[in-house]
Amino acid sequence: MSDPIVDELRAQISALDREVLDAFNRRLELVARLKRHKDEHGLAFLDADRERRMLEELRAANGGPLSDEGVAILLAALLELTKREV
């Protein structure tokens, strides 16, 4: 037997998962463009200071319920996957 509330919440979660996937794919496209530009101009691709600032900005923008530690873990995973894919 199906529970309509469970079904609705799962549908909303699935829709958000697709939005996250679409957003990440757009992010990859932008990072690839950035990497090409940096390569063409002899600039280093990785920037530890930029990554630190990104974490600070995301923590400041986070309204929860994700914890600061969760934000750090999410960003680390995002950056690791981006570096692997680009």
pLDDT tens-place string over residues 6-45: 999 999 999 999 999 999 999 999 999 999 999 999 999 9
- Quick one: which of 42, 77, 72 has its CA closest to 59? 72
Q: Are residues 1 and 30 in the same domain?
A: yes
The whole-number pLDDT of residue 43 equals: 97
Tell me which DSSP letter residue 42 carries. T
Q: Are residues 1 and 33 in the same domain?
A: yes
Q: Are residues 53 and 34 in the same domain?
A: no
Q: Are residues 59 and 37 in the same domain?
A: no
Q: Are residues 58 and 86 in the same domain?
A: yes
Tell me which DSSP letter residue 50 carries. H
Rounded alpha-carbon distances, angstroms, from residue 70 to 17, 26, 45, 85: 18, 23, 25, 22
The whole-number pLDDT of residue 1 equals: 81
| CA dist., res. 86 & res. 79, Å (int) | 10
How many domains, the chain? 2
* Residue-range definition of the domain harbouring residue 10: 1-43
